[in-house]
Structure formats: C-alpha cells, structure tokens
Amino acid sequence: MGIMCRSLWAFLLLSLVVVQLSLPVSATDGIFRINLKKRQLDRDSRIALRMASEDSESGRASLRKFRFRNSIADVSETDIIPLKNYMDAQYFGEIGIGTPPQKFTVIFDTGSSNLWVPSSKCYFSVACYFHSKYKAGQSRTYQKNGKSAEIRYGTGAISGFFSEDYTTVGDLVVKNQVFIEATKESSLTFLVAKFDGILGLGFQEISVGNVVPLWYNMVEQGLVKEPVFSFWFNRNAVEDEGGELVFGGADPSHYKGNHTYVPVTLKGYWQFDMGNVLVGGQSTGVCSDGCAAIADSGTSLIAGPTATITEINHAIGASGVVSQECKTVVQQYGQTILALLLAETQPKKICSQIGLCTFDGARGVSMDIKSVVDAKEEKSSGSLGDGMCSACEMAVVWMQNQLRQNLTQERILDYANQLCEKLPSPMGESSVDCASLESMPSVSFTIGGKEFSLTPEQYILKVGDGPAAQCISGFTALDVAPPRGPLWILGDVFMGVYHTVFDYGNLRVGFAEAA
C-alpha cells in the first residue's frame, strides 16, 4: 500500500480521524461525493503516522486526504468523492458493500490494489471490535468465494478470505466486486485507526490474488466516461473538509495552470521517472541520473533514500539519532573514500574496494541489509541496522556531492560527520524547531523537466498548539535496492501541494499546483 515508514512519529497519524461522513447523492450519472472530517491530534492519538507501509504481497499501505466544490466542467462525465482531512496526514471516505449497502470508512490508496474490510467472522482480533464489520448474510447480492487471502504491511498484517458483492461508491454501484473479508488484523495500528479498511487504486499487477481492482470494474462497467481519477488535498488546517477525489476527470477549480504529465514506467504502483532532488536550489546529486518515483495517496510523508533524506533533514535542522556506525566509517575510512573519489574510482565500487561491501557487478551489497517484502524482489529496509556497508555508501554519496563544490577535505569530513548525527532513528522520526521555519530551505523535485518545490510550511507537519507544539519533518528514509530503486514515494505531503491526476487510459500521472 502505498510504500510505504515507522516509530512514535512514524506512527503519528493513523489514528483518531474522522468520521461523520455524509453521502450526498447526485442525480447526474457519474458524480459522487464522500465527505470527511479532521480532528486535532492529541497526545494519546500520536500512534500511527503512516498506516502500514512498505511491504506486502501486493505492495504496501499507508495514509491519505481531500475536498469538494460544485464547479466540475462536465458533471455527467465525472464522479467526485469529497474527503475530510486529519492533520494533513489521513484522508478517508465512505463506501458501501452489499445490498442494502453496509457502510465502511476506507482510505483510497494508490499504493495498493485490493479492497478489504473487517469481516463479521473476525472473532479473535481486538481491532475488529472497534470497526464496522461486513455481514454476508445481510446482503442479497453476496456471492461466496472463500479463497484465503493475506496482506502484510510494514506495521502489521491482515488475513481472511475473498468474497464478492456489489460495492457502492457515492451513487455508483460496482457489481460483483471481489474483496477481502479480514478475519485477523494484527498490530496496534489497526486498533487505533479510525478507518475500517482500504480501497486500493493501484494496478492489477500488485493485486493480491490477481483480483480485478474496483477502479478497473468502474471503467469496465461504464460507470465513468473517462478512465481518469484525480486527487485534491485540502491542506488548510482550520477547515473540516479534507479534499476531493474525482472519478472520471478532474475539477479545474482545484488546480492552477496545466498539469505536467509523465508516463507510467512500471505498472503496479503509479511509478514514473523523476529527475534531480534539490535543497535550497542545490542538487543533492542522488538523482542526477534519474530515479524512480511513485505517487502514493496512501503514504503520509515523502520517503526516499536514507543518504538524501539525511541531507535534507540536516539542511532543515531536523534532529535524529546518532549513528555510531556512520561516524565510525567517516572517521576510519573518510580520507580513503575521498582519495578514491579524487582518483575517479567508480563511486559504486569504493565501499567494496575498502572491504565494507561486496560488489555484485552493479552495486555494493551487504549480508547485513534487511529486506522488506515485494513478492519477487528484495529491498533494503532503510533501517540503521543495515551495517557498515550502507553507512559507507551514504558517506560516498555525501562526499561526492561536497567535492563538486570544491570544499576542503576537512570541511567535507566535518560535513559527513554532521550528517551522521542527523540520521533518523531506526523508526524514522525527525523533528525540527517550529520557530525556525522561516530559515529553512525549499526542497524541490524535478518531474517531467519541471521543478516542483515545497516550502517549509508545506513539508513540515505541526502537532499541537502553542508552546507544546511540535514540528515533524515530512521526509522519512526508505531504501529500495536496484533494480527497483532508488525509489521515492511522493505521499500526501507532496500531493497536498500538487493536484494529481492518475490517467489510466493513457498510463500517465500529472501534477499541477493545487488551488
């Protein structure tokens, strides 16, 4: 589900969100709305910043948002889901399953592809007792399937079995949709979450059980005229309305100018090629040769390679946990790394040459690197327990970037040590001084040849009010090994600033400044 992060902060948002949803029905075919509300984050609700993240047989899971206005260009061709926002981190809507519809609050997640809700047969998971449960016996359109199903997320897992029934989204009814009845929900994440389930909007390629996603059936059954859906997230903290999900098009009142489109490069997640990442207008060097990225409404933050995230968090003054391994590498091998870089040794081979990694022909690898599931591919977990190999590789990136600026050896080694001190904790949290936002740099991502910038006010999440307020960095580390990585996950922090169009018909993703 969405890809995608973890900890007290990394647990920050998945709870206490919402509910009071209304379901206005449009008399015009193809338009539907689901309103969501937002609540202030309190001390006890700081559990779950990102709902299940990285791994699963289908992908990963996480967090979301949106809002509605009656200004659709052609309401007969679009379907709209207005959502409500919780701390700019979770966005939820209401659907119905069965005939008559049984109501469920779900996250609309472009980082996964299955629909699941708790089952009435969920007897032994405490989380199920705090959420709505699907009762097959109360639906006239229920059809038995019974095949077992399981999805593993970074912060927990659900398991159960497949069933089939009509699914209502707004005033649209999708017939014979296969979904998962969850009979087991592990971890505290699902217990404190205010959503009942998840509705995946990714591609069938990452669908558990190869189930046809609900969005595919919407298109196949002619419920929307255009195979396009779009997200607008309302980042105004004082407004209850969270934003808007539109099926069948985009609401022009929610964006400025034209969208910049990039083609989907790998079906599964909504993945595309991204260019350079800049901090304060300066290149980090990590994506100078290009990186893969996904637009994920199911992830709250922006996730990227640990080395670059550490640079960003250093630049914005975020405090993390000291990594002794990192400092040891800089102290013992820093001068050697610099000498090899100056000798124009291939950067990817340096850590293997000094004996900290084993070079596999394409990159340095370590037996210590943990993996998170991607069904068929291994990924680096991004935790600080990856060992000396990953610490070395980060140091190489940092030093290479500083050499381009013609700095002295002493300054380069000092800079690397500073970055070591800014490495986030194993759970990914990094906090900043709320009073220093004005002095923080912008962070930009190059997509389709255009720079998409975020200001400090846009990439910092503020928790609480007054003297007790805390500010959390919107950037978290997640390392994905080649060939799938490096991979960036542009979650709600990014999508809240840039209206996002998911064009299924033309296999492309578009971004425009949100209005």
For 401, phi then psi, to 5°, come to -65, -40
Whether 368 is catalytic:
no
Single out the catalytic residue among 296, 386, 492, 503.
296
Residue 465 DSSP code: S
Q: Say if CB 332 and CB 355 are below 8 A apart.
A: no
Distance (Å, whole) CA 18 – CA 3: 23
Distance (Å, whole) CA 96 – CA 102: 5
Angle, alpha carbons 514-511-281 (nearest 5°)? 85
Task: Single out the residue of 20, 18, 14 nearest to residue 1, CA to CA.
Answer: 14
Q: Say if CB 249 and CB 189 are below 8 A apart.
A: no
Single out the catalytic residue among 79, 88, 109, 171.
109
Distance (Å, whole) CA 303 – CA 238: 26
* C-beta neighbour count of 451 within 10 angstroms: 13
Q: What token pair was written down for 300?
A: 């709250």
How are beta strands 197-200 and 102-109 bridged, if at all?
Answer: parallel
Whether 296 is catalytic:
yes
Phi-psi region of 280 (alpha: psi -120 to 50; beta: other; left: phi over 0): left
* C-beta neighbour count of 300 within 10 angstroms: 37
- Catalytically annotated residues: 109, 296
